[in-house]
Structure 1
């Protein structure tokens, strides 16, 4: 995400750093999860991480949630956030490279999902303790795909920040906030998104993240506790 002007005591005309915090933290959480999943798959392929049926199903569920959140993030950029920037950027904005990234990422997300489903299906048929050479080849492929996804996501994030830096001061704050609010409201699993963002946010970002993603109150606490139990099952930490 681009860098925003600092917050001020008066109502700013353009989006502030606090306004961008929910999007920035969501990106950080998604990248962290993909990197963790890649390390997990590496451990499974090396035989140092056990993978029983229960854990395999939990891993499959986590991968689906992360991939769906990434899909939503990028479709939301194209449908809601980028048009706001384009209306106010004049002729200086070229999003073709970032759009190409989205095409590549969509293809890679599909491969990750298919590879994960194949791995989970194989574990349900044959425990990892008696896995075949084909099973381990499947696991190694998933680890490679997740590593590629993490690299491409990080590169895309850095490219977007460089490409869009300096444009937000031209965007009316109210218009940006409406687009961001609509984007957050359409999250495929708001509880998952809010809980993962909350776990990744810095202390100074928590209030903005909770306000935008719905992580406040008892419901948010319970959702985070439930997700933490699933997280321990998936990652073992």
Structure 2
């Protein structure tokens, strides 16, 4: 029997964890004076933080409203989602605090509060995603149908910002994973990577500096 391909979710998780950690490190350096930001860079940083917050919120909303019911219907007593749902409930207020901290950073150039909140978010995401993948991915592969999994992925894609999120897939996927994605999605994926790559790299260098690893 065919099993769901969870690679897309794995890369999305890796991307969220990686970019939030980079933003936490960057804002810590801004807070203690190891880096500086002119108005253009500050605006780009804040816009990217907002985009990451939106990505994380949409991802968790998709899990709460679509994936969790699918898993409960498919696996029944095999899974308890309460702890993971509690994590989501803790993350949403933190995302709101980060957004307000970003506005404060733009007004005052003081990144201290923002750095603290982003570091907390990065730590929480690391713990939450590791637990989620450990507990749920085996259950998804064992119990969830390919059709139900496709519906979850369709909802996840529908609310995503392709201009921002698709280049991050190329950034965070390993070569063998990219080969799998291209096989699954067809040549259009390669075309989209090519079209979006230049803008993504320019944005990353503006935000993270000229030595940004993209």
Matches within 5 A, 1:9-88: 12-15=1-4, 19-88=5-74
**CA RMSD, aligned part only?**
1.9
Matches within 5 A, 1:120-139: 120-123=106-109, 135=110, 139=111
How far apart, CA to CA, are the structure 2 residues paired with 1:106 and 1:92? Answer: 27
Alpha-carbon displacement from aligned partner over 1:34-74 (angstroms, at most 9, x marks no partner): 10011111111121101111110000111011111001110
Matched, 1:225 2:198: yes
Instruction: Give the TM-score normalised by the residue count of structure 1.
Output: 0.82
Matches within 5 A, 1:110-189: 110-123=96-109, 135=110, 139-168=111-140, 169-187=142-160, 189=161
Q: 1:110 to 1:142 in 2, by over 3 A?
A: same
How far apart, CA to CA, are the structure 2 residues paired with 1:90 and 1:120? Answer: 48
Aligned length: 208
CA shift for structure 1 position 204:
1.4
Instruction: Give the TM-score normalised by the residue count of structure 2.
Output: 0.90
How far apart, CA to CA, are the structure 2 residues paired with 1:110 and 1:193? Answer: 20
- Structure 1 gaps of 5+ residues are 1-11, 124-134
Of 21-30 and 154-163, more deviation after overlay is shown by 154-163
How far apart, CA to CA, are the structure 2 residues paired with 1:199 and 1:147? Answer: 22
Q: 1:105 to 1:217 in 2, by over 3 A?
A: same
Of 30-39 and 172-181, more deviation after overlay is shown by 172-181
How far apart, CA to CA, are the structure 1 residues paired with 2:192 and 2:77? Answer: 45
How far apart, CA to CA, are the structure 2 residues paired with 1:67 and 1:215? Answer: 27
User: Which residue of structure 1 lines up, in the alignment, with residue 170 of structure 2?
Assistant: 198
How far apart, CA to CA, are the structure 2 residues paired with 1:198 and 1:161? Answer: 21
- Structure 2 gaps of 5+ residues are none
CA shift for structure 1 position 199:
0.5
Q: 1:157 to 1:215 in 2, by over 3 A?
A: farther
Contact kept, 8 Å, 1:197 with 1:209, in 2: the verdict is no
Highest CA radius of gyration, 1 or 2?
Answer: 1
Aligned to 1:50, what secondary structure does the other structure show? coil
User: Which residue of structure 2 lines up, in the alignment, with residue 128 of structure 1?
Assistant: none
How far apart, CA to CA, are the structure 2 residues paired with 1:204 and 1:83? Answer: 32
Contact kept, 8 Å, 2:6 with 2:137, in 1: the verdict is no
User: Which residue of structure 2 lines up, in the alignment, with residue 235 of structure 1?
Assistant: 208
Contact kept, 8 Å, 1:195 with 1:215, in 2: the verdict is no
CA shift for structure 1 position 90:
1.6
CA shift for structure 1 position 226:
0.3
